[in-house]
Amino acid sequence: MALSGAQLLPLAAGRRQLFLMRRKAIIVTGITFMVTVMVTAFSYLYITQILRQRITNAYESASRLTQQLAYFAENDLPDLSSTPIDTNDPAAVRRALAAYLPMDTNLLNNLESEVALWPFIYDASVVDANGKALLHTNPQLLGKQVAPRPEFYAVTTARAWEQFRLVYRPATVYDVSFPLQLNGAPFGTIHTGVSTVFLKSEITPRLLHAMYFSIASIFASLLLAAGVSNLALGPLKEISRNLDSLGSGATEALSGDESEHDELGLVTLKIAHLGRQMRDSKEIFSALKDNVDQLMSKLQDGLMLFTRDSRVVLVSAPVERFLGRPRAELLGRTAREIFSTDSSLATLVVDAFEHRRPLLQRESVAAAGRRVQVSLDFVQEKSTQIGALLIMRDAESVRRIGDEIEMSRRLSASGRVTGGVAHEVKNPINAIVLHLQLLQNKLAQLDPDTRRHMDIIGSEIHRLDRVVQTLVDFMRARELHLEEVDFRRVLEDVALLAAPDAEQHGVTIKRDLPEEPLPIKADLDFMKQALLNVALNGIQAMPQGGSLTISARRDEDAVVAEVSDQGEGIARDVQDKIFELYFTTKRDGNGIGLAQTYQILQWHYGSVEFESTEGEGTKFRFRLPLAGSSLSSERAAGPHIEAAMSEPT
């Protein structure tokens, strides 16, 4: 069911509101996404910096404490000079110090105080050169081999994500060490253990704070996006309301001087002007499209217009006959898609498109074996190809038109000769007739027997005069008295006029006429004469009897009539001459009848052609435009028709 303009306006307004809602959702989503990405990125940077800074601070603190413990150990050694230990023996000194350090309460207190004061310090120890604990905050490990632990320095140099993984993986103790020397020689190592459990408990609150800040920022971005979208789409809503007013016909609100409007009003006013221009352009385009479609439907040639990418945008009606496909199915397709069948025409056209090679009147075979002439021209603008034009013509029609042109040329040439002869013969005949009458009057008194010979001479002169007059009438310009008639009635009248001759020759006239009317515009007398000439020839071609069939049908915008006989047919060597003036194969024929038929059909914008097989018969086919068609309208506009030949002067 079609909707009126008033019904379409609410739909258009609804679509605009839906568009604005979608636009608002897009803006809100976009701003939220951008803020979320930015907040997430900054939060990630902030959290990683906090983590890296805390790890670095822990490492620096642990290193400083380890160095302090080494300093205390080196400066808290006892004086061995008053003891029986040989101070000149380094090995004896080391053994003495190794036995002293476990009993050094000051150094042990320093170790335990560091573990107690710093949350991330797990333990502290003094280890000799062999890896045994000389002093340890864990009494159970005294004198035992201390297991190696990963260096805490590796955590400080790791990437941010790797630092997260190292800190938040299962609990691990990392080691910070400093060498302990005695009299400039290595004696042992001070080890400080940094626990990830303690480090994680110290870092986690700060990370949670940063995460809460990020989540709050994301929610704030949602509110910010909603506010920004309302501000951004507010003018669009106003423009939408103005467009609704414009669509309903309320254009007075959009008129006026541009200086009277603000920025929003100027945008709305320009949209209104643009809308009016688009409507005007659409109306012009629609009218132009209708005219082009009407023109394309009346073309006799198949015409296809392609874009630069070989897609068809314009198709004339005859293309459907050549390709056997409707125009709607061809529009928008490429040349390869249209000419995809394995035929000589498809191969020819596709190859020309692929190689950008024009075609000049190439004959090929189309659908259903129809032979067509193909022309392909590539349209260029400033040496750039912008499209292509493909033209297809019925090869048989082209040959038939060529034959008709040649026939018209021959008739015209014969007419010019005949005109001159008729002009030269007519005047002497008139003088001969006049002097013959004078001679008859004189001889009638002197020799009455000569009157019979004079009458014979006069009769033959009058017969010659009628022949010349017939030729003059054949060449004279005619004025057609056109009227719209049913072509079936014309054929019925021709059948009645030919009935006496048919009965005399034993010929049966058969009629095959449709039930629907076949309206044409014609001069009734001339049209009957043209058809009767052919009908009488067909009857005379069957001296032993037979049947003469008269049929008619509608063929698109034309009427086609056929007169078929069962005679001996026309010899192939004379078929090209039967429409020539004075050509005849009958003893008593004058060679004017078929030439006259050909001429009358031309006057009516029609055509006549024939098919003949020797020994089987001949079929004449007449084609005339239907009343109301383009050719019929042109003919009605100019009923005065000049003869095919020049009139004698």
Q: 264 in helix, strand or coil? A: helix
Q: Is the pLDDT of residue 297 over 70?
A: no
At residue 564, the pLDDT reads 93
Taking the C-alpha atoms of residue 422 and residue 471, their distance in angstroms, rounded to an integer, is 7
* CATH number of the domain residue 144 falls in: 3.30.450
DSSP code at position 486: E
Are 643 and 474 within 8 A, CB to CB?
Answer: yes
Q: Is residue 235 domain-resident?
A: no
Average pLDDT of the residues in 263-281: 70
Task: Average the pLDDT over each of 6-10, 41-45, 348-352 and give the range with the smallest value.
Answer: 6-10
- Among 364, 393, 422, which residue terminates a domain? 393
Average pLDDT of the residues in 178-182: 78
Average pLDDT of the residues in 425-429: 72
Residues 305 and 161 in one domain: no
Give phi and psi for 559, each to the nearest 5: -115, 130
Task: Average the pLDDT over each of 26-30, 155-159, 344-348, 520-524 and give the range with the smallest value.
Answer: 26-30
pLDDT band for position 78 (cuts 50, 70, 90): low
Q: 273 in helix, strand or coil? A: helix
Q: Please list, in sequence order, all residues whose beta carbon lies within 8 angstroms of the beta carbon of residue 295, skipping any fewer than 6 positions away.
A: none
Are 492 and 524 within 8 A, CB to CB?
Answer: no
Residues 86 and 193 in one domain: yes
Are 541 and 578 within 8 A, CB to CB?
Answer: no
Give phi and psi for 7, each to the nearest 5: -75, -30
Q: 511 in helix, strand or coil? A: strand
Q: Is residue 286 domain-resident?
A: no
Smallest Cα–Cα separation from 491: which of 643, 634, 584, 624? 624
Residues 468 and 537 in one domain: no
- Among 212, 245, 276, which residue terminates a domain? 212
Q: Is the pLDDT of residue 638 over 70?
A: no
- Among 212, 246, 263, which residue terminates a domain? 212
Taking the C-alpha atoms of residue 224 and residue 496, their distance in angstroms, rounded to an integer, is 97
Residues 416 and 307 in one domain: no
Taking the C-alpha atoms of residue 504 and residue 498, their distance in angstroms, rounded to an integer, is 10
Task: Average the pLDDT over each of 112-121, 345-354, 416-425, 433-442 and give the range with the smallest value.
Answer: 416-425
Average pLDDT of the residues in 326-344: 80
Q: What is the dihedral of CA 149, 155, 157, 160, to 10 degrees?
A: 160
Q: Is residue 226 domain-resident?
A: no
Q: Is residue 278 domain-resident?
A: no
More confident call, 15 vs 293: 293
For the chain, the average pLDDT equals 75
DSSP letters of 620-632? EEEEEEPTTSHHH
Residue type (1 letter), 254: L
What's the total number of domains in the chain?
A: 4
Residues 69 and 202 in one domain: yes
Are 110 and 137 within 8 A, CB to CB?
Answer: no
Query: Exposed, middle or buried: residue 522 (CB in 10 Å: 0-12, 13-18, 19+)?
Result: buried
Tokens 């006057």 -> residue: 603
More confident call, 229 vs 485: 485
Query: Exposed, middle or buried: residue 118 (CB in 10 Å: 0-12, 13-18, 19+)?
Result: middle
Q: Is residue 260 domain-resident?
A: no
Q: Is the pLDDT of residue 483 over 70?
A: yes
* CATH number of the domain residue 342 falls in: 3.30.450.20
Residues 417 and 353 in one domain: no
Are 554 and 621 within 8 A, CB to CB?
Answer: no
Q: Is residue 267 domain-resident?
A: no
DSSP letters of 67-131? HHHHHHHHHS----TTSSS-TT-HHHHHHHHHHHGGG-HHHHHHHHHHHHH-TTEEEEEEEETTS
Taking the C-alpha atoms of residue 599 and residue 609, their distance in angstroms, rounded to an integer, is 12
Q: Is the pLDDT of residue 634 over 60?
A: no
- pLDDT, one tens digit per residue, over 489-509 is 999 999 999 999 999 999 999
Taking the C-alpha atoms of residue 114 and residue 137, their distance in angstroms, rounded to an integer, is 10
Q: 251 in helix, strand or coil? A: helix
Average pLDDT of the residues in 328-355: 81
Return the bridge partners of 387, or none.
307, 379
Over pLDDT 90: what percentage of the chain? 12
Taking the C-alpha atoms of residue 232 and residue 224, their distance in angstroms, rounded to an integer, is 12
Q: Residue 287's CB: how many other CB atoms inside 10 A?
A: 10
- pLDDT, one tens digit per residue, over 139-158 is 888 778 888 888 888 888 88
Q: Is the pLDDT of residue 87 over 60?
A: no
Tokens 């040989």 -> residue: 86
What separation, in Å, do the N-terminal and C-terminal C-alpha atoms of the chain show?
A: 69
Q: Which pairing describes strands 546-555 and 507-512: parallel, antiparallel, or unpaired?
A: parallel
Task: Average the pLDDT over each of 39-53, 462-476, 550-564 and give the range with the smallest value.
Answer: 462-476
Taking the C-alpha atoms of residue 637 and residue 579, their distance in angstroms, rounded to an integer, is 28
Q: Residue 449's CB: how many other CB atoms inside 10 A?
A: 7
Residues 519 and 583 in one domain: yes
At residue 491, the pLDDT reads 93
Tokens 């005047």 -> residue: 427
At residue 245, the pLDDT reads 58
**In the numeric block, which tokens belong to residue 549?**
């069939």
Q: 170 in helix, strand or coil? A: coil
Indicate the pTM of the whole model. Answer: 0.40
Residues 582 and 634 in one domain: yes
Q: Residue 42's CB: how many other CB atoms inside 10 A?
A: 14
Q: Is the pLDDT of residue 540 over 50?
A: yes
Q: Please list, in sequence order, all residues whose beta carbon lies within 8 angstroms of the beta carbon of residue 309, skipping any fewer than 6 positions away.
A: 334
pLDDT band for position 352 (cuts 50, 70, 90): confident
Residues 590 and 603 in one domain: yes
Tokens 């971005």 -> residue: 221
**In the numeric block, which tokens belong to residue 539?**
């009857």
Give whichever of 200-214, 342-356, 597-611 has the largest mean pLDDT: 597-611
Over pLDDT 70: what percentage of the chain? 69
Smallest Cα–Cα separation from 534: which of 514, 559, 517, 509? 509
At residue 218, the pLDDT reads 73
- pLDDT, one tens digit per residue, over 355-407 is 888 888 787 777 667 778 888 888 888 778 888 888 888 777 767 767 667 66
Residues 452 and 503 in one domain: no
3-state secondary structure 404-454: HHHHHHHHHHHHHHHHHHHHHHHHHHHHHHHHHHHHHHHHHHHCCCHHHHH
Residues 504 and 593 in one domain: yes
Are 609 and 621 within 8 A, CB to CB?
Answer: yes
Q: What is the dihedral of CA 222, 228, 232, 237, to 10 degrees?
A: 60
Smallest Cα–Cα separation from 391: which of 413, 347, 361? 361
Length of the chain: 649
Q: Is residue 283 domain-resident?
A: no
Q: Is the pLDDT of residue 5 over 60?
A: no
At residue 549, the pLDDT reads 94
At residue 49, the pLDDT reads 82
At residue 265, the pLDDT reads 61
Q: What is the dihedral of CA 626, 628, 631, 632, to 10 degrees?
A: 80
At residue 100, the pLDDT reads 64
Q: Please list, in sequence order, all residues whose beta carbon lies within 8 angstroms of the beta carbon of residue 550, skipping any fewer than 6 positions away.
A: 491, 494, 495, 509, 510, 511, 512, 513, 535, 561, 562, 563
pLDDT band for position 199 (cuts 50, 70, 90): confident
Return the bridge partners of 563, or none.
550, 620
At residue 647, the pLDDT reads 35
Average pLDDT of the residues in 34-53: 78
Taking the C-alpha atoms of residue 40 and residue 277, their distance in angstroms, rounded to an integer, is 49
Average pLDDT of the residues in 597-625: 89
Residues 488 and 538 in one domain: yes
Average pLDDT of the residues in 198-227: 76
pLDDT band for position 598 (cuts 50, 70, 90): confident
Residue 593 belongs to domain spanning: 478-641
- pLDDT, one tens digit per residue, over 545-596 is 899 999 999 988 899 999 999 988 888 888 888 887 677 877 777 777 888 8
Q: Is residue 264 domain-resident?
A: no
